[in-house]
A = this chain, B = another copy of it.
Amino acid sequence: MRTKALIFGLLLAASTHAQLLYHDASAFPLLGKATDATLTRYERLPASLESVSRKPLWDLGRNSAGLALRFRSNSTCIGAKWEVRDNRSMNHMTPTGIKGLDLYCLQDGKWVFAGSGRPQGKVNEATIVKNMDPEEREYLLYLSLYDGVTSLAIGVDSLSTLDQPTVDLPVREKPVVFYGTSILQGGCASRPGMAHTNILERWLNRECINLGFSGNALLDLEIAELIATVDASMFVLDFLPNATVEQMKERAEKFYSIVRSKHPETPILFVEDPIFTHSRFDKRVAREVKAKNETIAAIFQSMKKKGEKNIYLLSSKDIIGHDGEATVDGIHFTDLGFMRYAEVLYPLIKKHIR
């Protein structure tokens, strides 16, 4: 058995890069999960919801959005082998964002982009960064946004170290929990690190939990119960692009109260529907955005009147700038849109996390 593993390891190393030896990633800390009670490691919803949640919601919960592996190495080269569940493609998002990887390195306390893992399909192998000086470094590896990683191995030079991180960054106590739509799930970042929850995780140096479900932020109450299990510093509820006016009227306050009942003091931020860039022309979309924003404003004011504390409502006015250029299709943010959104959210969250 040991011999077989050794031979296998050598074969793996020889197959692409003479120096790279691959190590299963299971042993390393994984950030971004609301719960560890998942069916497999790199997914987001607890196994208990498989028979409870609507099927599309459950399936999206198996995407790895917001998950990130922490490790330390002195290797001159970092590679990865990974497999994804669905081998999904979309015409408005890069395969690297959908099913790739994204590596950041800690430099003077800040996370700096080091390289992306560009996928080939279901089974993937990539050299992410190479030709580095052989120094000890702390790494953060973001996983696929719109597919589910089913296996992951990290490749390092055969004579180098691959160790547990020795720096506790991003801070894992009191994470920030985000609930939302396709945009929140990272559609359409060019690479996983550019989803705004991942940008904010780096800027805040605080763990962020991404509960974005493309087309399915419909205020399902079991998700509120999952959110309520997290001892968070702040909850961000960003469901307007999906939830209808009727769904909001019926369930937004209930969804909120499930979270609030377990966290009487924690700040909860509601976010208005973005002013979608094509809504300057598409009058139906413009009317829908207006109706939804009026609805959330009414719900918010009603809660305030009832005496709810520590609730906030973010106006969508400045979320993605005013030049109309921040999306790929009018709706889904590009890296430009995510960067602008992160810049708006950062100060709001920063002042609430202790």
Chain A interfacial positions (CB closer than 8 Å to B): 91-96, 100, 105, 107, 112-116, 118-120, 129-133, 188, 190-191, 193-194, 199, 277-278, 280-285, 324-330, 334-336, 339
What residue in chain B is nearest A112 (Cβ atoms)? B324
Q: Are A115 and B281 in contact (CB under 8 A)?
A: yes
**A131 nearest CB across to chain B (Å):** 4
Task: Determine the distance from Cα of A113 to Cα of B327 in the docked complex, in whole angstroms.
Answer: 9
Residue of B nearest to A105 (CB): B281
- Listed by A's residue number, 10 A-B pairs whose Cβ atoms lie within 8 Å are A91-B100, A91-B119, A113-B278, A113-B325, A114-B278, A129-B278, A131-B284, A132-B282, A191-B328, A325-B339
Q: Which residues on B sit within 8 Å (CB–CB) of A118? A: 91-92, 329
Chain B residue with minimal CB distance to A328?
Answer: B190
Residue of B93, B115, B133, B326 near A94 (CB, 8 A) is B93
Report whether B281 and A129 are in contact in the complex, using a CB–CB cutoff of 8 Å: yes
Chain B CB within 10 A, most for which of A105, A119, A281, A334: A281
Whole-angstrom CA separation of A244 from B115 in the bound complex: 23
Interfacial chain B residues near A113, Cβ < 8 Å: 277-278, 324-325, 327, 330
Q: Quickly give the copy total for this chain.
A: 2
Report yes or no: B131 in contact with A282, Cβ–Cβ below 8 A: yes
Task: Evaluate whether A285 and B190 lie within 8 angstroms (CB atoms) in the complex, with A92-B116, A113-B278 already known.
Answer: no
Q: How far is the CA of A130 from the CA of B118 in the complex (A)?
A: 35
- What is the CA–CA distance of A334 and B329 in the complex, to the nearest angstrom? 15
A283 touches B112 (CB 8 A): no
| Bound form: Cα–Cα A112–B323 in Å | 7
Give chain B residues whose Cβ lies under 8 Å from the Cβ of A328. 94, 96, 116, 190-191
Known: A91-B96, A92-B96, A94-B188. A115 touches B278 (CB 8 A): yes
Q: Is the CB of B91 within 8 A of A120?
A: yes
Using Cβ atoms and an 8 Å threshold, which residues of chain B touch A94?
91-94, 188, 328
Complex CA distance for A132 and B193, rounded to whole angstroms: 36
- A-B pairs with lowest CB-CB distance, top 9: A131-B284, A91-B95, A334-B335, A190-B328, A113-B324, A335-B336, A190-B334, A131-B282, A336-B336
